[in-house]
Structure 1
Amino acid sequence: MKRTGHPDSDRPISDPGSRASVVYECSVRPDRLLTEHFDELKSLELANKDFVVAGSAPLFIHGLRDHVTDLDIVTRESGWDHAMSRARAQSLPGPKHAPHGDALSLYFFDTRIEVLNAWFPSVVGEVDELIRTAKVVDDIRFLTLENTLMWKRHLNRPKDRQDVRRLEEVRLPRLHAGREQGTGRKDADRMTLRGGSAVDRPPTGQVRDTTPHPWSRFAPSSWLRS
């Protein structure tokens, strides 16, 4: 459902019901913005501050998918009004209920661009928050990988399960320094490093969507296990 590109900012985002910091071991691919889909998106002349690219495009821009077939553009009210005006000017059909979730959608370019006014708000939050916490790539905002993981787990279609596996393979909890006092054991929210790779623990705090450091370089040698 999308195609995409380079990290502009790495802002911490609040993950509802979660308290652990996580990162994703992958890099943004700015070259993936050079596709017909993004040219079509730009032609709609939506203000960049008014929308976030959702769907599977965040995986595409991080190199976790090879291609996308469409772009899901989630807008706040001002962006939605602009999209409605463009649809009327082009004599396109009016808004319809989106197939999944409580949202309205408009289609452009033979359904290659879908503009929506919400994106699973009960799962990942309201549009303003999704825009605020988005990953910015060449001035285009993308839904964070953590929020993408959350809605794909929720929808749980076969193609979503494949994407969930991809995301979980590169999802790492951040390293917590220190050990439990008096026990010599790491608490349940800390991660174990095995040969330089991390074993994920259930998240319990703030989330950060960014390209990670090579954790094994910073982990105490006593934490490394073969």
Structure 2
Amino acid sequence: MFALTDPGGLFAALRALDLPAGDYVVCGSGPLYARGLRERIGDLDVLARGRAWAIATALARPVRPPSGHGWAVYHPAAALEIVDRWTPGWPTEQLIDGADVIDGIRFMNLACVLRWKQTARRPKDLPDIAAIQHLHSIWTGQSPTALTPCA
């Protein structure tokens, strides 16, 4: 039994891939869901390198994602998008090596999620930005500007 609830079997599908721990990180809104900052998610965005990327490419042929940045593999049976790089300006190594582990799954740390969402600043990101800043304030008693930067 896992602590994370599993909408649509997303976490079960990710676990079934048996990706090497040091070669992937869940990005996007998955880290917010894992921390209770999102009530639901429709998919998991997974950044992979090395052996994890090799496992992904055995599932399906890599294609160009809508962003046109890097390559993506879409899981044939679950809403998992596995990419070989995150959005421009985000080093794969930094995101994977700086991941937080929650219930055995690697998630992008919140400082990086916040910075990424502040940079993208899409309408759907605004509630996420506010939620991260509010959580930080509760945990630390400090203003959101004191959040440790994504390194």
Q: Give, in angstroms, the shift of residue 117 of structure 1.
A: 0.4
Any idea what the Cα deviations from partners look like across 1:171-218, whole Å, max 9, x if unmatched? 24x97xxxxxxxxxxxxxxxxxxxxx4334466xx548xxxxxxxxxx
Normalising by structure 1, report the TM-score: 0.58
* 2:91 equivalent in structure 1: 126
Normalising by structure 2, report the TM-score: 0.83
Q: Would the aligned equivalents of 1:97 and 1:105 in 2 still touch at CA under 8 Å?
A: yes
Q: Give, in angstroms, the shift of residue 121 of structure 1.
A: 4.5
Q: Would the aligned equivalents of 2:47 and 2:83 in 1 still touch at CA under 8 Å?
A: yes
Is 1:104 paired with 2:71? yes
* 1:198 equivalent in structure 2: 142
Q: How does 1:1-226 map to 2 (within 5 A)?
A: 31-35=3-7, 36-87=9-60, 94-100=61-67, 102-110=69-77, 112-122=79-89, 125-172=90-137, 197-201=141-145, 206-207=148-149
Letter in 2 for 1:137: I
**Structure 2 CA distance for aligned equivalents of residues 108 and 166 of structure 1:** 29
Change (3 A) 1:157 1:200: closer
The structure with the greater share of residues assigned to strand is: 1
For the aligned residue pairs, the C-alpha RMSD in angstroms reads 2.6
Letter in 1 for 2:55: H
- Percentage identity across paired residues of the two chains: 31
Q: Would the aligned equivalents of 1:101 and 1:120 in 2 still touch at CA under 8 Å?
A: no
Letter in 2 for 1:119: W
The structure with the greater share of residues assigned to helix is: 2
Change (3 A) 1:127 1:201: closer
Any gaps of 5 or more consecutive residues in structure 1?
1-29, 88-93, 176-196, 209-226
Name the larger-Rg structure: 1
Q: Which fold has the larger relative contact order, with Cα–Cα distance below 8 Å and residues 6 or more apart in sequence?
A: 1
